[in-house]
Structure 1
Amino acid sequence: MTRSLSQKFRFFTFICIALLAYVHGYNLENGYLAPFSSVEEPLTITTFFEYFVANGLLRFRIPMLFIISGYLYATYDHRPYLQQVKNRFRTLLIPYVVWSGLGLLFTFLLQQFPYTAKVVYEAGIDQLGDNRPYAEIGWRGIVERWLLAPISYQLWFILSLFIFNLLYPVIRWLVVKLPYIWLPFTFILFFVSIINVPFIDFRGLFFFSLGVWVQKRNFSLEKEPQWFSLGLAMIVFIGFSLIKTFMAFELEPDTKQTWTILIIMHQVAVVAGIMSMWFGADRVIKWFLSKRWYHVTSSYSFFIFGIHVPLLPYMMQWAVMNTSMFPNYRLLCYLLVPLVTLSICTVVGMLLHRFVPKLYGFLTGGRGF
């Protein structure tokens, strides 16, 4: 792997994780935005902008992270399988369990005080839809939320990645031996993203497999293909995101026709967005690489990923509850709270790394050393 490609992987890993704050930090009445989500509140500058950014422009990030993960895993697959699994257990599964437990503990502590308990309740981010205090849910509910449905809901990504790593020998065989069957099949599964199988994320399976395929075929990721048009890709990416946003407000909610249209628009925009960002951001990457703060901050990417939820939705709910007297307060909160949260996460990571490095290493699976 060339140095420039390694720098590009690091840049997009950091950017994709940092932008999660703006994907998870919206304050729409719809507390969960899926690819097929419509909006039942009035169309305003605030609601349009938040949906356009959170459920449109920035949705390329996780698929891109899966591609990078598949490529990197395939690059080092000459290592013994058991050694790789053991390493991924330390770097993915242990952080999953630890960060999930910390999210539960943080939420439980907030529930002990009336004011913060109200913030937690109003945020309503419990994946199982039960926002009662944990003291009322019982131990069975706590264990279920700890291992299967974390309040730190972003952790689904590293759990899916761990499963893909476990299945890697099978995925590699299918990618190498049956690429023109396996890749189209998983691409269809990606498009039909409403299919749900426990512990298997079909939205990521195609992109992880694609990363493996690109590495095994030794395709250049640094040279723009002759058939590719950056201008056209940008038009499709931004255009489909805009049109989908308008449709989310205008179409009849919760119908099969609405879901189908929004999913197709969403997935096309995701693919165009990946291509646009990868081949169109070289000047931006060069600018970031010239900044010292970028090199410092980007080393805390995984820590930011682990800590930003549930902190972010609670901070967003608190900010919305306390700024309603200001004009355009929801839009201001959306613009500022994620940025403040990212700053807090980075500072906490720096302090832990400096003063309790062993704890930091444990939380991040040994990253940053």
Structure 2
Amino acid sequence: MNRILSQKFRFFTFISICLLGYVHGYNLNITYLAPYSTIDEPLSFTTFSEFLIANGLLRFRIPILFVISGYLFAYYDNRSYTDSIKKRFKTLIIPYLLWSAIALLFTFLLQLNSYTANIVKEAGIDQFGDNRPYLEIGWKGLIGRWILAPIAYQLWFILALFVYNLMYPFILYCIRKVPIIWMCFSLLIWLVSFQIFIFDGQGLFFFSVGIWAQKKGLFLEKRPEWLSTGIFLILFIGLCIIKTFMAFELEPNTGTTFFTLMLLHRASVICGMIAIWYGIDPIIKKTVQQKWFLQISNYSFFIFALHVPLLPYLMKMVILATEGIWMNRLLSYLFVPLLVILFCVMVGSLVKKYFLRAYLLLTGGRGY
């Protein structure tokens, strides 16, 4: 892999993970934003801005991370499949289980105090929709949350990525033998948000794009001359704005609303990926040469793994504490995620300095 592409991968990995803070840091009444989500609170500058950013302008990140992951897995597939899966178990599943357990323990400790227990309940981020104290839920419920539905809900990406790694020989076969059929099939799975048990179809198409790009030698470093990033940027922003207005106006829980918002969301993601990937090369070139970037980007995985559930709990605490203050929701949205990201970097640096073996275990050996 050449240096330009390597730097591009590092930049987008770090930026995409940092932006997760602003995707997960919204303080709208709805606790989970899906592509088809509608908003049941009044349209205001705050609600419009948060929805536009969290469920529109920043939604290109995870697909880009899957493209990078697919490319890198294909790039290093000279290793035996067994060795690759063993390595991925160490770098993905072990951190997944450790961070899921840490999030459960953190939440449990908060539930022991009446004030913080109310914060946990008000945040409402349990994936099973049961925000009772864990003492009431019991061990069976905790095991399910530890393995299948972490309170640190961003960890779904790790589990999905590991499943795609397991599927790699099949995906590669399809890309080589029936590329058009496979890409259309995986695109359809993404369009309809297909999911069953631990298989999540949100990233399969983009993981496949990464494999296809690596095997076909596609030129990802620079923008093709025929491609206009300006047009895609206009489409990206325009579609996000239109979708945001519709989320406030359309009737919720109808088939028409579902498909309208879903198609607008998917189209905006594709346009955003193309516009951002090829449109900010000068920024990437300048940023990756900065000393601060080289230092902080080492803690990308720590930011990814630690920011939830800390962020939604802190956000809820700040919102409740600042009720009555003008623009408190928007100001909280702008600053609380940034504070959490900086806190994650600080904790990561301290763990790396004083508990290196634990750091390597928690990150799967990344950033060292």
Task: Give distance in 2, aligned partners of 1:7 and 1:297.
Answer: 14
Alpha-carbon distance, 1:266 to partner: 0.3
Counterpart mapping for 1:4-43 below 5 A: 4-43=4-43
Partner of 2:90: 90
CA-CA distance at 1:191 after TM superposition = 1.1
Residue 114 of structure 1 aligns with which residue?
Answer: 114
Match of 1:175 in 2: 175
The normalised TM-score by structure 1 is 0.99
Q: Distance in 1 between matches of 2:281 and 2:45?
A: 31
Cα distance between partner residues in 2 of 1:192 and 1:319: 36
Please list, as runs of the form range in 1=range in 2, the aligned pairs for 1:1-369 lying within 5 A after superposition.
Answer: 1-193=1-193, 195-369=194-368
> What per-residue deviation string (whole Å, max 9, x for no partner) do you get for residues 43-84 of structure 1?
000000000000000000000000000001000111111110
Q: Residues of 1 paired with 2:189 and 2:134: CA distance?
A: 36
Root-mean-square deviation (CA), in Å? 0.8
- SS of the residue aligned with 2:117? helix
Number of residues paired by the alignment? 368
Which deviates more from structure 2 when the two are superposed, residues 13-22 or residues 285-294? Answer: 285-294
Q: Which runs of 5+ in 2 are unaligned?
A: none
What is the alpha-carbon distance in structure 2 between the residues aligned to residue 217 and residue 286 of structure 1? Answer: 25
CA distance in 1, matches of 2:82, 2:215: 21
Q: Tell me how far 1:188 sits from its aligned partner.
A: 1.3
CA–CA distance in structure 1, aligned partners of residues 224 and 111 of structure 2:
54
What is the letter of the counterpart of residue 252 of structure 1?
E
C-alpha distance in 2 between matches for 1:226 and 1:256:
40
Contact 2:66 2:210 (C-alpha < 8 Å) held by counterparts:
yes
Distance 1:330 1:174 in 2: 48
Contact residue 91 and residue 363 of structure 2 kept, 8 A: yes
Q: 1:162-186, CA deviations, whole angstroms, 9 ceiling, x for partnerless residues?
A: 0100111011101111101100111
3-state DSSP of counterpart to 1:227: coil
What is the distance in 2 between the residues matched to 1:97 and 1:68?
23
Per-residue deviation, 1:226: 3.1
Q: State whether residues 307 and 340 of structure 2, in contact with CA within 8 Å, keep that contact through their aligned partners in structure 1.
A: yes
Amino acid at match of 2:134: Y
Alignment partners' CA distance in 1, 2:222 and 2:123: 45
Between the aligned partners of 2:16 and 2:65, the Cα distance in structure 1 is 7
Q: Matched residues in 1 for 2:290 and 2:333: separation?
A: 26
For the residues of structure 2 that align with 1:97 and 1:236, how far apart are their CA atoms? Answer: 40
* Partner Cα distance (1:91, 1:289) in 2: 24
Give CA deviations for 1:85-129 in whole Å, capped at 9, x if unaligned: 000000000001000000000000000011111111110100000
Equivalent position SS for 2:72: helix
Partner SS, residue 107 of structure 1: helix
Q: Which amino acid aligns with 1:342?
A: I
Q: Which runs of 5+ in 1 are unaligned?
A: none
- Alignment partner of 2:324: what SS? coil
Rounded to whole Å, the distance in 1 between the matches of 2:116 and 2:92 is 31
Deviation (angstroms), 1:202: 1.2
Measure how far apart 1:343 and its partner are. 0.6
2:289 and 2:195 map into 1 onto residues whose CA distance is 43
Give 1:227 shift: 2.9
Deviation at 1:223, TM superposition (A): 2.5
Give 1:192 shift.
1.2
Where 1:128 maps in the other structure, the secondary structure is coil
| TM-fit CA distance, 1:200 | 1.4
| Counterparts of 1:146 and 1:288, CA distance in 2 | 37
Question: Which ranges of 4 or more aligned residues in structure 1 deviate by more than 3 Å?
Answer: none
- Partner letter of residue 178 of structure 1? V
* 1:290-347 Cα shifts (integer Å, max 9, x gaps): 3211111100001111101000000000000101121010000000000000010000
Supply the distance in 1 between the matched residues of 2:338 and 2:26 (Cα, whole angstroms).
Answer: 12
TM-score normalised to structure 2 length: 0.99
Counterpart code for 2:32 = Y
| Partner Cα separation in structure 2 for residue 223 and residue 21 of structure 1 | 28
